[in-house]
């Protein structure tokens, strides 16, 4: 679970990522920023990903991301314009997962309004509830209940 940031101070909303290679410039920028804590360059990471994608859980991760994104957005926002969707990018924190894995960007700390909301306990509870509901729906369907 992460909080996003952008040079555009008006950027707002939630998005969910799964591990994959991509040519999407914005997705690569977000991944590069989040991956900056590592010593791997984005090109090194893309090469590593190509080698491990054969054993990935991409399809399951996309399904999980879809449920989490839908539930998270519904729990926080009324407007569809703040649903930034499910995206794919080479996030180092998702490398090596042996189960479906997603990275949730739960808002933009660079947006004054979202930063203010993120400081409140109730908003953080809404984020947690949204993620939980998405996980629960995924498991319900995955387990055939």
**Per-residue pLDDT, 133:** 97
How far is residue 95's CA from residue 5's CA, in Å, rounded to a whole number? 22
Share of the chain above pLDDT 90, in %: 59
> Which DSSP category does 143 fall into?
T
**Per-residue pLDDT, 39:** 47
Residues of the chain with pLDDT under 50: 39
CA 115 to chain centre: 18
What is the rounded (10 degree) CA torsion for 111, 109, 134, 79? -10
**Per-residue pLDDT, 41:** 63
Q: Residues 6 or more apart from 79 whose CB is under 8 A from it?
A: none
**Per-residue pLDDT, 104:** 98
pTM for the whole thing?
0.82
């Amino acid at each position: 679970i992460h909080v996003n940031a952008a040079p555009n101070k008006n950027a707002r909303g939630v998005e969910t990522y799964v591990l994959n290679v991509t040519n999407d410039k914005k997705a690569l920028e977000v991944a590069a920023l989040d991956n900056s804590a590592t010593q791997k360059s984005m090109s090194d990471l893309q090469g590593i990903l190509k080698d491990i994608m054969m054993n990935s859980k991409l399809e399951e991760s996309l399904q999980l991301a879809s449920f989490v994104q839908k539930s998270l957005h519904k729990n926080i926002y009324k407007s569809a314009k703040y649903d930034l969707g499910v995206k794919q990018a080479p996030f180092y924190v998702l490398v090596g997962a042996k189960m479906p894995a997603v990275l949730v960007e739960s808002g933009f700390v660079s947006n004054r309004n979202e930063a203010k909301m993120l400081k409140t306990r109730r908003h953080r509870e809404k984020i947690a509830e949204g993620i939980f509901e998405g996980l629960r729906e995924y498991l319900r369907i995955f387990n055939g209940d």
